[in-house]
Amino acid sequence: MIRRRTFVTLLGGATAWPIAARAQQPAVPVVGWLSGRSPEVEPLLAAAFRKGLAETGFVEGRNVAIESHWAYGHADRLPALAADLVRRQVAVIVAAGVGVNEVRRLTPAIPIVFSTPTDPVQAGYVASLTRPTGNMTGVSNLGIEAVPKRLELLHELAPQTTSIAVLSDPNVGEVPSQDTQAAARTLGLTLHALHASNETRH
């Protein structure tokens, strides 16, 4: 959904403000990073993010700064962390999982790049996958289009099974999705949504 040049434009726009406004802004654009987890839990994601920035010409400490806010598995910390990033008026906010809902409630203006395990259209993040509109864009790692097919394959592997449990995080949107529910009905399956508890790792 998000293109590389889109993110570059979001950051580049931070350096093109009028002179009067620029004097009140940091010398380099600041990217806000909001995650409900911890750097120890998802080090590869954070490293991949910095690598992607570098590939577009933005190197941390040289021409871009990253303000990382981690909730360390405590979802109740996210509202305050999200509010702090909005207060700082960062150029872009990158949010993942449960952090997406928190930051989207606070700002209709600051661009938000999200990573979500749910359907971003169904969750209300964007109007459509091809034309997100608003101030939000991002990616879904759910593989939305493939979920009904996975359900079909699961049914083929266990044809006698009529009831399937779906483990989900209630903070990131409806799971299973409407498409998955429709596919289940077609196959004569009943889906039961089980909500996972907050991460407790420190």
Inter-residue contact 148 to 179 (CB < 8 Å): yes
Pairing of strands 163-168, 136-140: unpaired
Alpha carbon distance 36, 182 (integer Å): 31
Residue 145 has pLDDT above 70, yes or no: no
Lowest-confidence range among 45-54, 145-154, 155-164? 145-154
pLDDT grade for 70, boundaries at 50, 70 and 90: very high
Question: Mean pLDDT throughout 134-147?
Answer: 77
Alpha carbon distance 178, 196 (integer Å): 20
Q: Give the tens place of pLDDT for each residue, 2-55.
A: 555 555 555 655 444 444 444 455 579 999 999 988 888 878 888 888 999 999
Inter-residue contact 34 to 86 (CB < 8 Å): no
Q: Which pLDDT belongs to residue 183?
A: 83
Question: Mean pLDDT throughout 161-171?
Answer: 77
Question: Mean pLDDT throughout 108-129?
Answer: 86
pLDDT grade for 169, boundaries at 50, 70 and 90: low
- Give the dihedral sign, CA 119/44/14/16: negative
Question: Mean pLDDT throughout 74-82?
Answer: 94
Closest C-alpha among 132, 99, 117, 130 to residue 32:
99
Q: Give 26's contacts (C-beta < 8 A, 6+ positions apart).
A: 65
